[in-house]
């Protein structure tokens, strides 16, 4: 696929759509290498990743489900089970983290934007590789310092779920760009 086709074919493929075919360490490394080429103001390279593969995915699911049970006022057994099971359905999960520049030499939103661009690079690469992927940022993300050993100034922004899939994804047709553009 050429770049324009990869961009047009990028989709959110949810864990429930994944099959059991594993994701290899080589595939994950390709995605991480693509992420590392994202643009970054003042070369701060704020993206940090934590790869969950195998048993660590099950531990993440248990942590999220139990933290939900502990903190949620309107408990839902359906959501509890989904939090526990989704990580196990993935071929791998990459925790998306941001390391804030200690000098705070640029606005925080620029660091978040750089991390998002790194994730977009992974997403486009996953699409090109035929892998399904999905960025999830559950409300429980604020508790991830209890699960991961985060450095000072590091925050977790979400999870990048990965999996092989068999079912084709829905065609996406965005609204016209002319409705979102003002020419000056």
Taking only the tens place, the pLDDT of each residue in 89-98 is 999 999 999 9
Q: What is the mean pLDDT of the segment spanning 40-67?
A: 96
Contact (Cβ atoms closer than 8 angstroms) between residue 98 and residue 157 = yes
List of residues 6+ apart from 128 with CB closer than 8 A: 1, 6
Q: Name the residue among 89, 105, 88, 104 with its Cα closest to residue 16.
A: 89
Separation CA 176–CA 112 (nearest Å) = 27
Give per-residue burial for 15-33: e unless 16+ CB within 10 Å, then b.
bebbeeeebeeebbebbbe
Query: Full-prediction pTM beyond 0.85?
Result: yes
Q: Which residues pair with 16 in a beta bridge?
A: none
Which domains does the chain show, CATH number per domain?
A: 3-163 (3.40.109.10)
pLDDT tens digits along 71-121:
999 999 999 999 999 999 999 999 999 999 999 999 999 999 999 999 999
User: What's the mean per-residue pLDDT of the chain?
Assistant: 95
**Residue 176's pLDDT band (boundaries 50, 70, 90)?**
very high
Count how many Cα atoms sit within 13 Å of the Cα of residue 51 in the half-sphere of its side chain: 15
- For residue range 128-154, list pLDDT tens digits in order: 999 999 999 999 999 999 999 999 999
């Amino acid at each position: 696929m050429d770049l324009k086709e990869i961009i047009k074919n990028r989709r959110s493929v949810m864990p429930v759509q994944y099959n059991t075919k594993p994701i290899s360490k080589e595939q994950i490394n390709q995605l991480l290498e693509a992420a590392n080429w994202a643009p970054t103001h003042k070369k701060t390279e704020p993206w940090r990743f934590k790869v969950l593969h195998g048993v660590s995915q099950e531990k993440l699911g248990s942590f999220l489900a139990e933290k939900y049970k502990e903190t949620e006022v309107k408990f839902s057994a359906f959501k509890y089970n989904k939090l526990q099971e989704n990580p196990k359905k993935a071929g791998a999960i990459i925790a998306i983290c941001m390391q804030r520049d200690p000098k705070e030499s640029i606005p925080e939103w620029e660091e978040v934007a750089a991390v998002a661009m790194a994730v977009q690079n992974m997403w486009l690469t996953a699409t090109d590789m035929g892998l399904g992927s999905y960025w999830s940022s559950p409300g429980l993300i604020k508790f991830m310092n209890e699960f991961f050993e985060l450095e000072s100034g590091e925050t977790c922004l979400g999870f990048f779920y990965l999996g092989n899939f068999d079912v084709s994804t829905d065609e996406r047709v965005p609204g016209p760009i002319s409705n979102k553009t003002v020419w000056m």
